Structure 1
Amino acid sequence: MPLNVSLSEAAPSGAAPSGEALFREGRVDGVDDSWDPFESEAFAVADLNPGLIRPDALPHPVSLGEIPAVQDRFQALIKRRLRLEIERRPPRFPWEQGIQDYPEWLMGEAPAAPVWIEQLRQLKLPTLLPDEVLVTLLQHCQDLARQPLKSGVRLVKAVEALFPGQPQTLENMARMVLTPAYRSGRTPEPLTLDYESANTQQQVALAMLAAQEIFQSLTLTLSALEPSVQRQWVTPVGLLTLTATYQVEGSRIQVQAVLPQAGYLHLEGVRAEKDQPGELVAMLEAPQAEQTYSVTVGLLESQSPLQFTLIWLGGSEP
């Protein structure tokens, strides 16, 4: 049914709103609310290309007031159709065979950087890694540190979220990273590219090197021959120092944390807190040889605690 709306006819006092007002409200007398003058075959044939739409192709004469209002409605329709088309068939990179999931930070939603990120920025690497990569590695390394995994498997699992769908590349690079230069016959070459411009293999190698250092920083290994170990962690509020010591007398392990601000220390069910900077101590009685224990340090203003892994190897006292 043709639609002709004239805005020149004066509306009597108390009458219904003008045609322009009705258009803004999405209503026109005598026309169903769901009808849209732009939902026509002419626009479907145009296939989202405004250049293919000609005024003489419209099946209905349309007089809807000022041109800007019509243009706004047309643009809204185009945006809606584009959004529906993208949802139905998401775009892919040329090298992608199908749709795959990526970490949230790659989609523009980077996780909040914890206070622990300052230490990770100082890792001894050929180049600085983005904070988003470091945060992801820290999260996965904390989860994996207590699991009884081989070194290669642990490295692969630590970085696989950053490089989805590339298991063979990860396995190959893990072997290379774990092979000392003197055994492989390779001479290390300085990396001049930054992380963003490096190729995939270089990025995997850098991520695995970072994961190695993070694992080492998060692991406290004690034995009768090496009864004490210390780790330091740089934060924006000061230096965190963690010391684990095996005490022969009493056959127990003492964990001491010196906090730069108020926080807590948790060791296998034993918790110590302090509402100001200073020293906290927790004891582990009768540790079992070849066992791993969890050590958690939290600062009250941090988003999440830092989790260390304590390993008691046992052995005879020197």
Structure 2
Amino acid sequence: MNSDSESLQHQCLDWLLTDNVKNNEQSVECEENDGVTNLLKKATASKSSEPKLGATPQTFQLGEIPTVQDRFQAVLKNRLQIQAQEHPPLFPWETQLTEYPDFVDEPSMTLVPSWGWMVQQSKLTLPTRLPERVFQQLLEQCQALVTSSVPLGAKLVQVVENFFPNESQALNDIAGLVLRSTYRSVSTLETMPAIQSDYSDLQPRQQMALSLLAAKQLLENLTLPLSATSPVVEREWLTSVGTLNIRVEYQSLGKLTKLLVQAELPVKGSLTLRGSGTLAMTTSSTSGYLNVELGCEQLNPTYTLEVEFPEIDEQPLLFVINPTI
């Protein structure tokens, strides 16, 4: 046999010996191995003994050695298969053989995508797209401050100040420009060139202006003002599963006033309308229209509307309703 074959045989034998075969050395031999050994013995005996009268001398040619080698490897392969069948290997976390189904009808864990509300960025009017990380943090800050009673300019600065520490004066200056702009564009801001550039390539003051513009539009989208001349307000919010449409209406029935919210949901979800010590909630198991209303003798200064879609986001989307009637 050549050296490669001998090495393979030694490795296989070593594996067998370490797999609890040492305790059964006497039982390892099988008829096939005995057959190989007897064949070698017979071949040796036939060469050393005299041929019997009338019989053909039995010889062992060198060309027959590969045949013996193939036979040995077949016997070894069979032995390995038997060992694997009698003692199947286990995964590291298993202590005994376990049967697993071919497929699972219902997964035991549902992965909830993170921040399915962030698709709304595509509806904003911005000269360049904000990185997802930046937009997510802006949206989180807007959600935290949307019910705050501070002026809009101060609210904008609070939303973005974590991005630009120790730059309060510059933020206040640029926030003033953003508030005075009559349309949502940075082309009127000297610090923001109207060119196609990534956010990371902009100068700090340009990033400030872009962040403040995004914050202003987000807060406007999340605020639903009502008045005597405008008793109905509508909003659209794009999500990862479709568009959320919201319609809020103020109704007056004598001394009783009522706030009615109608939403068209792209997926199953719930609506929670809160006032001062009052709450109304409704849930839908499918997409479609969903209504919730809250009645009182007089309107509260502020209401909040939470829209929850468990399939796309762990956090609800919070709107603020500001009646000025």
- One fold, TM greater than 0.5? yes
Kindly provide the CA deviation profile for residues 165-210 of structure 1, in whole angstroms up to 9, marking residues without a partner as x: 221221121112122379x997985243221100000000000000
Q: Which residue of 2 aligns with 1:273?
A: 283
Kindly provide the CA deviation profile for residues 88-138 of structure 1, in whole angstroms up to 9, marking residues without a partner as x: xxxxxxxxxxxxxxxxxxxxxxxx741101112331101111111111111
One-letter identity of the residue aligned with 1:193: S
Whole-angstrom distance in 2 between the partners of 1:287 and 1:306: 28
Is 1:132 equivalent to 2:165 in the alignment? no
Whole-angstrom distance in 1 between the partners of 2:247 and 2:143: 18
One-letter identity of the residue aligned with 1:309: V
Q: Which residue of 1 aligns with 2:259?
A: 253
8 Å CA contact retained: 1:290, 1:313:
no
Q: Which residue of 1 aligns with 2:148?
A: 147
One-letter identity of the residue aligned with 1:277: S
Distance 1:210 1:287, change over 3 A: farther
Distance 1:158 1:188, change over 3 A: closer
Match of 2:221 among 217, 223, 228: 217
Kindly provide the CA deviation profile for residues 12-65 of structure 1, in whole angstroms up to 9, marking residues without a partner as x: xxxxxxxxxxxxxxxxxxxxxxxxxxxxxxxxxxxxxxxxxxxxxxxxxxxxxx
Whole-angstrom distance in 2 between the partners of 1:299 and 1:244: 19
Whole-angstrom distance in 2 between the partners of 1:176 and 1:131: 25
Whole-angstrom distance in 1 between the partners of 2:201 and 2:114: 23
Kindly provide the CA deviation profile for residues 198-254 of structure 1, in whole angstroms up to 9, marking residues without a partner as x: 000000000000001101100111111101011111112111111100112342110
Structure 2 alignment gaps of length 5 or more? 1-112
Match of 2:319 among 304, 308, 315: 308
How far has the Cα of 1:159 moved from its partner?
Answer: 0.5
- For residues 54-93 of structure 1, what are the structure 2 equivalents within 5 Å? none
Distance 1:161 1:186, change over 3 A: closer
Q: Which residue of 1 aligns with 2:3?
A: none
Tell me the secondary structure at the aligned position of residue 123 of structure 2.
coil
| TM-score, structure 1 as length reference | 0.59
Structure 1 alignment gaps of length 5 or more? 1-111
Tell me the secondary structure at the aligned position of residue 116 of structure 2.
coil
Whole-angstrom distance in 2 between the partners of 1:181 and 1:273: 39
Kindly provide the CA deviation profile for residues 248-300 of structure 1, in whole angstroms up to 9, marking residues without a partner as x: 23421101111111110000121101111122111121274571111000002
Tell me the secondary structure at the aligned position of residue 213 of structure 1.
helix
Tell me the secondary structure at the aligned position of residue 255 of structure 1.
strand
Whole-angstrom distance in 1 between the partners of 2:164 and 2:189: 28
Q: Which residue of 2 aligns with 1:158?
A: 159
8 Å CA contact retained: 2:257, 2:296:
yes
One-letter identity of the residue aligned with 1:179: R
Distance 1:189 1:181, change over 3 A: farther
Whole-angstrom distance in 2 between the partners of 1:164 and 1:287: 46
Match of 1:200 among 196, 199, 204: 204
8 Å CA contact retained: 1:113, 1:135:
no
Distance 1:165 1:263, change over 3 A: same
Let me know the Cα RMSD of the aligned residues.
2.3
8 Å CA contact retained: 1:129, 1:195:
yes
Tell me the secondary structure at the aligned position of residue 201 of structure 2.
coil
Whole-angstrom distance in 1 between the partners of 2:252 and 2:226: 12
How many aligned residue pairs are there?
202
Instruction: Name the structure with the higher helix share.
Output: 2
One-letter identity of the residue aligned with 1:257: A
Is 1:240 equivalent to 2:244 in the alignment? yes
Kindly provide the CA deviation profile for residues 137-170 of structure 1, in whole angstroms up to 9, marking residues without a partner as x: 1111111111111121011001011112221221
Q: Which residue of 1 aligns with 2:116?
A: 115
8 Å CA contact retained: 2:191, 2:205:
no
Tell me the secondary structure at the aligned position of residue 121 of structure 1.
helix
Larger radius of gyration: 2
Whole-angstrom distance in 2 between the partners of 1:129 and 1:234: 16
Is 1:167 equivalent to 2:168 in the alignment? yes
